[in-house]
Amino acid sequence: MSFNVDPAIIREITAVIREAVAEDWIQQFEIGADTSFNADLELESIEFVTIAAGLQQHFGVQVDLIGWLSTKAFDELIALRVGNIGEFVANTRVAGGGQS
């Protein structure tokens, strides 16, 4: 899968994920744009809430991950990758007048 996202955004999202999960294994786990939230990271829904809050704190309140996720079909949620979040963040920042 190929994502058209600034690598700096992926690094920032990765930092938010590591902080949200707050377990030893995640610190050494290689996370990139193709990393799957379901198959690779096996995140719980509460961790997504923490990630969403971290993204808003880091990128601004216009980055409403929970709202965006609520528009997705179940199969899209299962297939969700870090790059999808990266594209969402980049698009939201551009639409909101932020830099990407």
Examine residue 2 and state whether it is found in any structural domain, yes or no. Answer: no
User: What is the pLDDT, as a whole number, of residue 1?
Assistant: 73
Question: Strand, helix or coil at 36?
Answer: strand
Residue 91 lies in a domain: yes
Helix (H, G, I), strand (E, B) or coil at 89: helix
Question: Is the model's pLDDT at 99 over the cut of 50?
Answer: no
- Among the residue ranges 39-43, 64-68, 78-82, 94-98, the one predicted with the least confidence is 94-98
Q: Tell me if 100 is assigned to some domain.
A: no
pLDDT digits (tens, 9 = 90+) for 75-95: 999 999 999 999 999 999 877
**Which residue range(s) make up the domain with 79?**
7-95
Structure tokens at 31: 């996370």
Name the domain count of the chain.
1
What predicted TM-score, i.e. pTM, was given to this entire model? 0.89
Under the banding of pLDDT at 50, 70 and 90, the label for residue 53 is: very high
CATH of the domain at 44: 1.10.1200
